Amino acid sequence: MGTDSSSSATATAGIDAVELAREAEALLGGLIRFNTVNPPGNEEQAQQFLADHLRAAGFQCELLAAEPGRPNLLARLKGSAPGPTLCYLGHVDTVLANPAEWQRDPWSGEIVDGFLWGRGAIDMKSQVAAEIAACAALARAGWRPATGELLIAAVVDEETGGELGAQWITREHPDKSRCDLLINEGGGAFFDYAGRRCYGVCCAEKGVFRFAVSTDGTAAHASLPALGDNALLKMGPVLDRLAARQPSYALCAEAQAFLEAVGEDPGDPVGAVERMRQSDPVLARVFEPMLGITFSPTRIRASEKINVIPSLAECKVDCRVPPGLGEDEVRAAIVEVLGEPGPPGVEYRTEFTERIAGNRSPADSNLMDTIATWVAEQDPGARAVPVVLPGFTDSRHYRDAFPDCVAYGFFPHRHQSLLETSPLIHGADERIDVRDLGFATQFFCDVALRTLG
């Protein structure tokens, strides 16, 4: 598990790598056996389980709740001199799981054929377990930061937006949750491209500018179709155009850096995507969305009654937008894809229903250098590359609350690839290779040592 250089870093702190991995496995198995599907969440017992483990290791722990039964855990290990606060962030709630769709009990936490199974095994109880196992092992070994402090934030409610979790705790308890450096979910699984092994470091997340497209008509009895003007039929050309293409690429700085890192020309994104499709079509589908605004129609409604021709039809579009772009760029993209509204083209109206700007942290930082060095040591020839997450995580709340905080998503896997883990997130048969769990636990141990001394 890892190279001698990494093993020596933890060995200096008196930590055995095999025992470290076993501790992470035990913590993850225990966490999965708490059913924290959100809603309703019911995270309290899981949080107490983690707090007990950290207190026994020497951490100062506090449980803070926006509402009863759903506390957020903050645990800290203070250094002997002023310095940066390094925060390991994770959430303990999960999405639902239908046992009928799984090969194994989603809340078993069992290990079979080298994989630990259960809801949250990837998203993201595994990362929480790895972070806490690493930090507890350091504390038990007598390590304390030479400067600054190590902070663990295990929060609730991420899967429904973080209103009771990261958003609440950064707003209501900024002095307790403030940090300078943060590692969260959103990156770390490896992928191979053009002869290079890469580990994505999530430096930016796309925003959400959801909108509704409406078409108008005239109601009539459905038995007399010629007497009405069917708004639903007018939606056909809208859907055709949405199906035909996405808006043109609009690369943010992080997307440009990604293309450069994998050996592609950021000045030719069309050619880069085509070459990626030829090399690995699935990989192209995963990474193409980071290169610009995307439209995904997801809901449509028209008449409330089967026997009434609708006078209004409405299609809801999930629109994701790179950081640095906003409503003006989305409006231009709508016209690019659908055309100018009205005759002789497509007759439609648009209305925005959500506006949340994308968020980012600088891709160049000491923390990025630390991650890149660790990756190169652990997997010679591999590199850390910046990526843009098409969705978003709790990192956005920390970036909003603490603008100077450098926040990255990184949970390294060297056995399960990005293409293997991605379908398991929010899907059936979620599971993690226990070797990757140990690998990541080593990472969190080493980064704390290298960052805080």
Per-residue model confidence as pLDDT tens digits over 382-393: 999 999 999 999
283 is a domain residue: no
95 is a domain residue: yes
Residue 35 shares a structural domain with residue 179: yes
* Per-residue pLDDT reduced to its tens digit, 123-148: 999 999 999 999 999 999 999 999 99
Task: Give the span between the Cα atoms of 28 and 152, in whole angstroms.
Answer: 16
Instruction: Give me the mean pLDDT over the 355-369 stretch.
Output: 97
- Structure-model confidence comparison of residues 13 and 355, the more confident one: 355
* Per-residue pLDDT reduced to its tens digit, 412-453: 999 999 999 999 999 999 999 999 999 999 999 999 999 999
Read off the amino acid at residue 424.
L
Residues in the chain: 453
Instruction: Give me the mean pLDDT over the 69-84 stretch.
Output: 97
The two tokens of residue 111 are: 């290990």
Instruction: Give me the mean pLDDT over the 1-13 stretch.
Output: 48
pLDDT at 346 over 90: no
Residue 215 shares a structural domain with residue 180: no
Q: How confident is the model at residue 302 (pLDDT cuts 50, 70, 90)?
A: very high
* Per-residue pLDDT reduced to its tens digit, 200-223: 999 999 999 999 999 999 999 999
The reported pLDDT for the residue numbered 344 is: 85
Q: What is the mean pLDDT of the chain?
A: 96
The two tokens of residue 426 are: 């929010």
Query: Domain ends where: 352, 370, 404?
Result: 352
Query: Domain ends where: 329, 352, 375?
Result: 352
Q: What is the CATH number of the domain that holds 37?
A: 3.40.630.10
Question: What Cα–Cα distance (Å) separates residue 48 from each residue in 43, 55, 63, 66, 307?
Answer: 9, 10, 8, 16, 56
The reported pLDDT for the residue numbered 99 is: 97
Query: Domain ends where: 304, 337, 352?
Result: 352
Residue 331 shares a structural domain with residue 440: no
Q: Give me the helices (H) in 314-412, please.
A: 327-338, 366-378, 395-401
Task: Give the span between the Cα atoms of 205 and 391, in whole angstroms.
Answer: 6
- Structure-model confidence comparison of residues 8 and 304, the more confident one: 304
Read off the amino acid at residue 328.
D
221 is a domain residue: yes
426 is a domain residue: yes
pLDDT at 110 over 80: yes
Task: For residue 314, report the phi and psi dihedrals to the nearest 5 degrees.
Answer: -140, 130
The two tokens of residue 437 are: 């769990």
Could you give the number of structural domains in the chain?
Answer: 2
Instruction: Give me the mean pLDDT over the 226-243 stretch.
Output: 97
Residue 37 shares a structural domain with residue 177: yes
Instruction: Look up the pTM and report it.
Output: 0.93
The two tokens of residue 129 are: 């377990």
Instruction: Give me the mean pLDDT over the 22-49 stretch.
Output: 98
% of residues, the chain, pLDDT over 70: 97
Q: What is the CATH number of the domain that holds 347?
A: 3.30.70.360
Task: Give the span between the Cα atoms of 350 and 438, in whole angstroms.
Answer: 49
pLDDT at 23 over 90: yes
The reported pLDDT for the residue numbered 9 is: 57
371 C-beta neighbours (distance < 10 Å), count:
23
Cβ-contact 15, 141 below 8 angstroms: yes
Residue 161 shares a structural domain with residue 309: no
Residue 64 shares a structural domain with residue 85: yes
Tell me which residue of 222, 246, 223 sits closest to 232, measured CA to CA.
222
Tell me which residue of 283, 257, 292 sits closest to 194, measured CA to CA.
283
% of residues, the chain, pLDDT over 90: 96
39 C-beta neighbours (distance < 10 Å), count:
10
Task: Give the span between the Cα atoms of 411 and 150, in whole angstroms.
Answer: 18
The reported pLDDT for the residue numbered 343 is: 86
Count of alpha carbons within 13 angstroms of residue 393, beta-carbon side: 25
Q: CA angle, 224 as apex, 222 and 229 as ends, to 5°?
A: 75
pLDDT at 5 over 50: no
pLDDT at 361 over 50: yes
Cβ burial of 18 (10 Å; 0-12, 13-18, 19+) is: exposed
Instruction: Give me the mean pLDDT over the 88-100 stretch.
Output: 98
Q: How confident is the model at residue 11 (pLDDT cuts 50, 70, 90)?
A: low
Task: Give the span between the Cα atoms of 259 and 328, in whole angstroms.
Answer: 25
The reported pLDDT for the residue numbered 444 is: 98
Cβ burial of 164 (10 Å; 0-12, 13-18, 19+) is: buried
DSSP assignment of 94-141 equals B----GGG-SS-TT---EETTEEESTTTTTTHHHHHHHHHHHHHHHHT
pLDDT at 317 over 70: yes
Residue 114 shares a structural domain with residue 215: no
282 is a domain residue: no
Which range of residues forms the domain containing residue 212? Answer: 207-250+292-352
